[in-house]
Every structure is written in C-alpha cells, then in structure tokens.
C-alpha cells in the first residue's frame, strides 16, 4: 500500500547517496517531499541517508540500479510509485567524470562516461516523461564547463552538452502536460567528483576564478533544484548556471 497521502509530492533523486545528490535528497525531504534516494553501488550510504530522513519524521526509501540499464531503472521507478503512490519530481544527478586532453584520451573511459552521463540521462529522462504527474518537474544536470571550456574537460563536456540539448527538446515534447524540464549546470563544487585528482593549488585556483571567491557547496546547488522542483513553474527548457558568477 502507498505510504503517502494523495497530496504528498514525491521525488526521485538519482545519484542520491552522496555529494550533490545527498544534499538534494535532504533538502527535498525538508521541503516535505517523500524522497527516493537512488544509488548505483553504495547501498550503505543510501540507507544511512534514508535513516537520517526518516528519523526526523520524513519519508524516504533507497532504490538501486545502473542508470543506463533500462530494466533496472524501470524497476526503480516502479518501486517509487508502488511505495509512494506516484511521482512528481525526478532529479538526475548521477554521473562520472574522467578528465584528460582529447588527443590522448582513452576510448574506454569515453565509452564509460557516455554510458553513464548520456545514455543514463536519456534512460532516466525517458522514464520520467512517462511517469511524472501533472504539475511536476524533471531536473537534469550539466556543468558550467560547457561555457568556461577548461582544457582536459572536453570528453566530459561532450556528454554534458548533449544533456542541455535534450532539455530544450524534451520541454517542448511535454507541451500540455504541465511538466517542466530544466538542467542545472553547477560550477566548481566541493564534492568528491570535483575534488578527485586535483591538487590543493588547482582547487584554490578554481575557487578564486569565481567572483564569490569560494567553491560552491552541495547545499548551494540544492537551493536551485528546490526552486525548479517546486515554485518555478514558469521556468522551462532552461539551463541554469549555478556557479557563483563563474564566466
């Protein structure tokens, strides 16, 4: 039996077990959403987050699966709907980043990024368009590097620029359904995905490139997503650069 009332808004956050995804799940739960925390490989982190949400009176479950596997994602979406009675918001944060210059880049790494970042986004977006109820929102993720064009980010940017293009089309394909589709493009944000492989000098240089002279925090990104998920009904088909003014 569903564990929510008909008026409860329900959100699924992919990649919700850590980094930006965890901050988003916590923020949406604070806003009163029933939240499904998706994980790919770290069930323990997802369970800990669910436990934290439920301990304060929220409602949450953990759902697993490879975002690029349509069978696994169908099952995950089914579980969310079965548990909570429907789905209003899908936030797709799951992704991988392997940096390197195009000339020397390994195609195995590129194929892995394409599978997760591009195919995974498409699979999740496809399920979301079939499931999200009227008045709902789909929020995808890109990167501010599609605009800043830092060297070594080329392969990663290639997978994320495609997400921005998909957003424009999908928003128009959902005409008449009262479902918004937007993409958030964070700047340098203090998450394991961003910090991995960077020395202290590189991190500081990137922080100073931002007019606010700091790295973003996951809660900064969560603020934007919470806006798009709820009150931002007139924002649609957009890429929001949440980056502290990084040019």
- Taking only the tens place, the pLDDT of each residue in 14-34 is 999 888 999 999 999 999 999
Residue 247, pLDDT score = 75
Annotated catalytic residue 105: no
Catalytic member of 33, 39, 153, 156: 156
Interaxial angle between packed helices 43-55 and 19-30, expressed in degrees from 0 to 180 and rounded to the nearest 10: 20
State mean pLDDT over 117-145: 97
The β-bridge partners of 221 are none
Lowest mean pLDDT among 72-76, 105-109, 149-153: 149-153
- Kindly list the distances between the CA atom of residue 176 and the CA atoms of 133, 171, 173, 179, in Å, as whole numbers in the listed order: 12, 10, 9, 8
CA-closest candidate to residue 91, choices 47, 170, 28? 28
State mean pLDDT over 87-113: 96
Q: Where are the alpha helices (DSSP H) in the chain?
A: 19-30, 43-55, 70-84, 107-113, 120-131, 145-148, 154-173, 192-195, 200-208, 218-229
CA distance 163 to 132: 19
Confidence of residue 2 (pLDDT cuts 50, 70, 90): very low
* HSE-up of residue 186 (Cα within 13 Å, Cβ side): 27
* HSE-up of residue 175 (Cα within 13 Å, Cβ side): 4
Residue 93 has pLDDT above 90, yes or no: yes
Confidence of residue 1 (pLDDT cuts 50, 70, 90): very low
CA-closest candidate to residue 183, choices 137, 119, 116? 137
CA distance 41 to 44: 9
State mean pLDDT over 159-175: 97
More confident residue, 90 or 194: 90
The correct CATH number of 10-188+219-236 out of 3.40.50.450, 3.90.280.10, 2.30.30.230, 3.40.50.720 is 3.40.50.720
State mean pLDDT over 172-187: 97
Q: What residues have CB less than 8 Å from 33, skipping those under 6 apart? A: 8, 9, 10, 11, 88, 89, 229
CA distance 83 to 91: 18
Residue 7, pLDDT score = 61
Interaxial angle between packed helices 70-84 and 120-131, expressed in degrees from 0 to 180 and rounded to the nearest 10: 30
Q: To 5 degrees, how large is the angle CA 164–CA 131–CA 57? A: 100
Q: How much is the pTM?
A: 0.93
Q: What is the mean pLDDT of the chain?
A: 93
Show the 3-state SS of 106-122: CHHHHHHHHHHHHHHHH
Three-state SS at 126: helix
């Amino acid at each position: 039996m569903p564990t929510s009332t008909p008026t409860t808004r329900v959100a699924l956050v992919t990649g919700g077990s850590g980094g930006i995804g965890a901050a988003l799940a916590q923020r949406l739960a604070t806003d009163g959403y029933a939240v499904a925390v998706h994980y790919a490989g770290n069930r323990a982190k997802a369970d800990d987050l669910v436990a934290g949400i439920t301990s304060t009176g929220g409602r949450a479950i953990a759902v697993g699966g490879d975002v690029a596997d349509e069978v696994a994602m169908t099952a995950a979406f089914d579980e969310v709907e079965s548990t909570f009675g429907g789905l209003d918001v899908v936030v797709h944060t799951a992704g991988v980043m392997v940096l390197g210059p195009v000339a020397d880049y390994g195609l195995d790494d590129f194929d892995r990024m394409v599978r997760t970042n591009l195919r995974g986004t498409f699979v999740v977006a496809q399920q979301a368009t079939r499931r999200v109820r009227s008045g709902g929102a789909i929020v995808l993720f890109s990167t501010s590097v599609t605009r800043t064009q830092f060297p070594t980010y080329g392969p990663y940017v290639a997978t994320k620029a495609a997400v921005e293009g998909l957003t424009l089309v999908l928003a128009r394909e959902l005409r008449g359904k009262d479902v918004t589709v937007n993409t958030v493009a964070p700047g340098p944000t203090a998450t394991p995905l961003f910090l991995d492989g960077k020395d202290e000098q590189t991190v500081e240089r990137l922080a100073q490139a931002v007019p606010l002279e700091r790295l973003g925090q996951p809660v900064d990104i969560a603020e934007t997503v919470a806006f798009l998920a709820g009150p931002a009904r007139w924002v649609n088909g957009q890429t929001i650069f949440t980056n502290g003014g990084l040019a």
